[in-house]
Structure 1
Amino acid sequence: MRVYYDRDADVNLIKGKKILIVGYGSQGHAHANNLHESGCSQVKVALRPGSKTAEKVKNAGLEVTTPAEGAQWADVIMVLTPDELQADLYTEHLGPNMKPNAAIAFAHGFNIHFNLIEPRDDIDVFMVAPKGPGHLVRSEYVRGAGVPCLIAVEQDASGNAHDVGLSYACAIGGGRSGVIETTFREECETDLFGEQAVLCGGLSKLVATGYEVLVEAGYQPEMAYFECLHEVKLIVDLMYEGGLANVRYSISNTAEYGDYCIGKRIVDDYTKDEMRQVLEEIQSGEFARNWVLENKAGQPHFKAERRRWANHDIEQVGEKLRAMMPWLGEGALVDKSKN
């Protein structure tokens, strides 16, 4: 594993570039503001005409432009819109307007790895992928730290793509904690697997199912919420600081014994086989094809599931309980008025 730090990069490379951030969601907000505060004086944010987000960008002291106009101006374009929008965005607005030897960058390898975007031969293509949500990328930078980043180069038309990418990664704070060399394929496939099998799909379903089992057995919903959702943060924070060993060092002997005896009954060989199948579907492109088709159909299943989960009892109970703990909002990672 090759890791780079601030001392390995020339941050002046990115400071001298005209940088277009496409999108101003979680990652876009973080990248644009971190770059600006690192001394990149030429940063613009591309939004669709009439976007309500424009006011947030202007309040941050940044200039708003359109994707097409920004592409004509920029030396480096970082695409931070949702995956499902990027192919059309590139085909219709970015690709036709980019300057020769300009660079297009991504924070996730999805569209490049699965050939949904086929970039022009005369431009650089690199990736800078922070290993954390944009809200954390921003908050860590503000406190003087940084979230580790991945870097990969897919196309090096200028011969300078890696150096520019590394400079960019350091300017958003990645060089403070480490920038790890990878490939678009490795980042994309491991990221999708982690999201689906563990971090999002696996964890959210485990939490909700545990809640349902307790409530269906007659326990108070509030007790089920605390035990199956609220206290997840305690365990995750311990993992974050020192891995699984740190959790087992910190919890009671009773909890540790239950960990060893019961965990393997919940996540058993069947679960592992399903995880392998999930990985195969990612590697073969089956998941990507299904997601593309879902979007072409107007996202019917996706939107139905979003509505169903929004109405789950765990959300209603959680909203009531969180209102009893106002300190949870202090220093919150997500502030919808800003990002």
Structure 2
Amino acid sequence: MAKLNFGGVEENVVTREEYPLDKAQQTLKDEVVAVIGYGVQGPGQALNLKDNGISVIVGQRKNSKSWDKAVADGFVPGETLFEIEEALQKGTIICYLLSDAAQIEYWPLVEKYLTAGKALYFSHGFGITFNDQTSIVPPENVDVFLVAPKGSGTSLRRMFLQNRGLNSSYAIFQDATGKAFDRVVSLGIAIGSGYLFETNFQKEVYSDLTGERGTLMGAIQGIFAAQYDVLRKKGHSPSEAFNETVEELTQSLMPLVAENGMDWMYANCSTTAQRGALDWWKRFRDATSPIFEELYDSVATGKEAGYSIESNSKPDYRVDLDAELAELRDSEMWQAGKTVRSLRPENN
């Protein structure tokens, strides 16, 4: 394990150099990794494990869209694709990748097959951290750990196919066998992580829920909408408003930030852009900091978890979700985005 120093703060990290794939393969050679759920993270992780030579099976409800997707992806019913209960029985490492609400629903079945020496793997700290609401309390004789890729399963798979890696956090909640570290790090490498940084279940879920509601999705959509609406009210066209709000950011500037950092991007913009950005960024920080404090407190007290469980467990959840997503999709800003994307050179 290596240590990175961030301005005097040391973090434990694991890289591919110190823990190469062949070491991960050796660690997992006698394991059967059962990926339970084939929705958001399941496909990317299962396919990457499979391509990296790990014995992996998928457990999914039969006659579902996800079952059909697993078949289309090359998993064979009766050989590498099973109903959930059969996969739980066969697996020595249970990758519990169902949605948070579905994890609560299936937990009594999963617990039944967590026999001594098995491992329970998560990609989110939700179920364990908020177990007063989820009732997910693993038996003491199994390993419990997580690997949380810092991105979607789609991104994990796409970057894997490009021979790149998506950074992930890892955490060990319970080491019953004495092998939890090697197991979790091996899985992290085998699913295609660029490097792994250490955390714990609580910190993972607190930072994740804050990020999703904040800069990763919620806040960025809110800022997009606010700027776009102001530009439109001031007489700018939909195309101009979208390009200045979203397209330039995502297509031009964010790739530069990803490659070299924000300071480099600032230094390589016009002097007018530099001056304006330097003058305004602290005002945006100060304006939004109270909202982020409120958000973090809502996460840490379990309010966000409770709301998610209540909302996502409703029988008509999908209907309500589709309506909310339609509101985004049908907004002028994202309809303009659809048109702008169609005009990119690679799409013509």
Q: Tell me, yes or no, if structure 1 residue 8 matches structure 2 residue 26.
A: no
Unaligned ranges ≥5, structure 1? 330-339
Q: Tell me, yes or no, if structure 1 residue 71 matches structure 2 residue 71.
A: no
Offset of residue 302 of structure 1 = 4.8
Task: Tell me if structure 2 keeps the 8 A contact 1:109–1:187.
Answer: yes
Task: Tell me if structure 2 keeps the 8 A contact 1:126–1:165.
Answer: yes
Residue 145 of structure 1 corresponds to 164
Task: Tell me if structure 2 keeps the 8 A contact 1:47–1:66.
Answer: yes
Cα deviation 1:211-263 (Å, max 9, x = unaligned): 11111222111111111111121222122112211221221111111102233
Residue 122 of structure 2 corresponds to 106
Task: Tell me if structure 2 keeps the 8 A contact 1:108–1:188.
Answer: yes
Residue 278 of structure 1 corresponds to 295
Residue 96 of structure 1 corresponds to 112
Which residue of 335, 339, 342 maps to 1:316? 335
Offset of residue 287 of structure 1 = 1.0
Letter in 2 for 1:36: K
Q: 1:328 to 1:185 in 2, by over 3 A?
A: farther
Residue 212 of structure 2 corresponds to 195
Q: How far apart, CA to CA, are the structure 1 residues paired with 2:187 and 2:235?
A: 54
Q: 1:15 to 1:144 in 2, by over 3 A?
A: farther
Q: How far apart, CA to CA, are the structure 2 residues paired with 1:269 and 1:207?
A: 18
User: Where do 1:1-339 residues align within 5 Å?
Assistant: 1-6=11-16, 7-8=18-19, 10-11=23-24, 12-40=26-54, 42-62=55-75, 63-91=80-108, 93-115=109-131, 116=134, 117-174=136-193, 177-233=194-250, 234-265=252-283, 267-297=284-314, 298-299=316-317, 302-325=321-344, 327=346
Unaligned ranges ≥5, structure 2? 1-10
TM-score (ref. length: structure 1): 0.89
Residue 3 of structure 2 corresponds to none
Task: Tell me if structure 2 keeps the 8 A contact 1:72–1:99.
Answer: no
Q: How far apart, CA to CA, are the structure 1 residues paired with 2:291 and 2:182?
A: 40
Offset of residue 122 of structure 1 = 2.2
Q: How far apart, CA to CA, are the structure 1 residues paired with 2:236 and 2:137?
A: 54
Q: How far apart, CA to CA, are the structure 1 residues paired with 2:151 and 2:98?
A: 16
TM-score (ref. length: structure 2): 0.87
Q: How far apart, CA to CA, are the structure 2 residues paired with 1:219 and 1:285?
A: 42
Runs of 4+ in structure 1 deviating by more than 4 angstroms, as ranges, are: 300-304
Q: 1:328 to 1:156 in 2, by over 3 A?
A: farther
Task: Tell me if structure 2 keeps the 8 A contact 1:84–1:292.
Answer: yes
Q: How far apart, CA to CA, are the structure 2 residues paired with 1:105 and 1:328?
A: 40
Q: CA RMSD in A?
A: 1.9
Task: Tell me if structure 2 keeps the 8 A contact 1:35–1:171.
Answer: yes
Q: How far apart, CA to CA, are the structure 1 residues paired with 2:127 and 2:30?
A: 28
Task: Tell me if structure 2 keeps the 8 A contact 1:71–1:77.
Answer: yes
Task: Tell me if structure 1 keeps the 8 A contact 2:231–2:241.
Answer: yes
Q: How far apart, CA to CA, are the structure 2 residues paired with 1:13 and 1:122?
A: 20
Letter in 2 for 1:103: A
Residue 6 of structure 2 corresponds to none
Q: How far apart, CA to CA, are the structure 1 residues paired with 2:339 and 2:276?
A: 30
Q: How far apart, CA to CA, are the structure 1 residues paired with 2:292 and 2:280?
A: 19
Task: Tell me if structure 2 keeps the 8 A contact 1:71–1:99.
Answer: no
**Partner of 2:215: helix, strand, or coil?**
helix
Q: 1:57 to 1:256 in 2, by over 3 A?
A: same
**Partner of 1:99: helix, strand, or coil?**
coil
Q: 1:148 to 1:296 in 2, by over 3 A?
A: closer
Q: How far apart, CA to CA, are the structure 2 residues paired with 1:49 and 1:120?
A: 28
Residue 7 of structure 2 corresponds to none
Count of residue pairs brought into register by the alignment: 324
Q: How far apart, CA to CA, are the structure 2 residues paired with 1:8 and 1:310?
A: 43
Offset of residue 304 of structure 1 = 4.3
Q: How far apart, CA to CA, are the structure 2 residues paired with 1:89 and 1:246?
A: 48
Q: How far apart, CA to CA, are the structure 2 residues paired with 1:53 and 1:268?
A: 41
Offset of residue 296 of structure 1 = 3.7
Q: How far apart, CA to CA, are the structure 2 residues paired with 1:168 and 1:130?
A: 11
Identity across aligned pairs (percent)?
Answer: 29
